[in-house]
Amino acid sequence: MKRHSWFKQSLVLAVLPLAMGTAFAQDAKKDISPAEAQYQAGGSPLGAVEMHQDINPKAPPMTKAEFDKARQIYFERCAGCHGVLRKGATGKPLTPDKTLASGTDYLKVFINYGSPAGMPNWGTSGELSEAEVDLMARYVQQTPPQPPEFGMPEMKQTWKVIVPPEKRPTKKMNTYNLDNIFSTTLRDTGEVALIDGDSKQIINIVKTGYAVHISRTSASGRYLYVIGRDAKINLIDLWMETPDNVAEIRVGLEARSVETSKARGFEDKYAIAGAYWPPQYTIMDGYTLEPLKIVGTRGMTVDTQEYHPEPRVASIVASHFKPEFVVNVKETGKILMVDYTNINALKTTEIGAARFLHDGGWDLSKRYFMVAANQSNKVAAVDAKDGKLAALIDVGPIPHPGRGANFIHPKYGPVWSTGHLGDESISLIGTDPQKHPKEAWKVVQTLKGQGGGSLFLKTHPKSKNLWVDTALNPDPKVSQSIAVFDINNLEKGFAVLPIAEWAGLGEGAKRVLQPEYNLAGDEVWFSIWSAKNQESAIVVVDDKTRKLKAVIKDKRLITPTGKFNLHNTQHDVY
């Protein structure tokens, strides 16, 4: 089920808003933009996991081979929005109590032709064959299969210490400027490229899990933790002559987030990872990745107080004030302040925010964590010092800040900003309740960007520029360029730089995404992301002049997406 030929990822089954008197019509979902549709899409590693077929006598018959094929299609293309168990996540439920009432013929029409509510025309677009449309219409009437749980025995089976701590270097064995290395995700090859920011040369291509979501630097700056969407974590020792893996583990079957302890006295001691499936987080030894504590997140939603069977763990950050991890639970809308002083007697403060918490970053003071609640169109500000919710701020449709961007607004003081998937707006939120109380926790200004589909925006304390990508915009001219604002003259609007054109690549989507600064704050790096069989690149721009500085091309740079400067990641500079 793929939304557009130009972006071979999927959407999930939305709900048809037709006046047909069905259960679907009662669950109609608002119209969504193409950018939002792509964001909700994306393959799940669970498609390859064997699951039990529960024969439902009321459902249309399916052979085991048909069931397995349909299950793989669902998890590769639909589960991201409708959930592993089809009970609904950011999308509506697709459980038999709703689908059986509609019947196979209705569902085939629904899948074949789509709807204005966001359901793509899988059949008429040619993305699904007639047989596959029929297959999926029958599949969504079956009892949803449940993937296996993944507990301590399963984790221990995957845990591997490649180089024990006592055999690792006792001092830095290379001459690289570790603060200016970029950990660059090579999404479709299951690798990260460690790129020297000084020489612009690749130091090493490190084998990791599939589609690394984030890279995190340890508090000391020695270790790098990366996590793939297949829940595999790799620990990289940056002191080695050639930085490489020293430990690995899988903490589940699907995941997105990893972080390390930063509080004084706990530097590098612990690592934590959050899983999408099973819904849980795991605390590990920071030097070996030995799993120490697993905590489930199933529970009640923050708004309707209803039980949710698979609340996914989205972003996790480490507090700069206390020995606490800030764990954001997506579907229940809860923020967990996890005190790791004694992991055998965890103390957790639960803060109710808003549903579908996703990603975010610290404000300039690093006291307040700003996290987007995507489908609620809100940003939650969490006071990590006092352990409470500071505010819920209404923003534009589907905020997606990455880590956000902090700067001193010429009129309103310190602000944190986010772009959106649903429209072209960029929200600037005041974050200084002490010196700017009237502006605190309000959208003090809304900028107009190139369009919807923004994934990341970025600035730097030494810069006067605010860079905003639109990687998921359906217009190639927009997705292949970058908007840049002058922070001291925001009313002037944005300038557009043709980043993909500067890369000098051949055919391909050439989506421009994730501006990332170097250590000095005088260069901005952009990923040019094309398909696995097409050429991609990294483009480096001079921040002051906004002119092309370098293009990094290498046949090993396959589908580069996220880039993380190790110093900026270590110190939460954005």
Dihedrals phi, psi of 565, to nearest 5 degrees: -65, 130
What Å distances lie between residue 496 and 61, 420, 469, CA to CA? 54, 18, 10
Buried b (16+ CB within 10 A) or exposed e, 436-464: beebbbbbbbebebbbbbbbbbbbbeebe
Burial of 121 (0-12, 13-18, 19+ CB in 10 A): middle
Nearby residues of 175 by Cβ (< 8 Å), 6 or more positions away = none
What CA–CA distance (Å, rounded) separates 29 from 36?
13
The string of DSSP codes covering 502-540 is HHT--SS--EEEEEEE-TTSSEEEEEEE--TTS--EEEE
Q: Please confirm, yes or no, whether 155 is among the known catalytic residues.
A: no
- Measured distance CA(510)–CA(330) in Å, rounded: 30
Check if the beta carbon of residue 222 is closer than 8 Å to that of residue 238: yes
Distance of alpha carbon 257 from alpha carbon 315, whole angstroms: 6
Q: Considering the candidates 1, 62, 78, 370, report the single residue annotated as catalytic.
A: 78
Instruction: Give me 41's structure tokens.
Output: 């899409």
In Å, the largest CA–CA distance within the chain is 70
Determine the 3-state secondary structure of 556 from DSSP.
coil
Residue in 1, 62, 81, 155 annotated catalytic: 81
Catalytic residue of the set 308, 320, 358, 436: 358
Q: Which two tokens stand for residue 31?
A: 């119209």
Q: Active site residue: 213, 308, 320, 400, which one?
A: 400
The question of whether 358 is a catalytic residue gets the answer yes
567 included as an active-site residue: no
140 in Cβ contact with 101 (< 8 Å) = no
Are 41 and 12 within 8 A, CB to CB? yes
Q: How far apart are the C-alpha atoms of 240 and 171, rounded to whole Å?
A: 9
81 is a catalytic site residue: yes
Which residues are catalytically annotated? 78, 81-82, 119, 358, 400
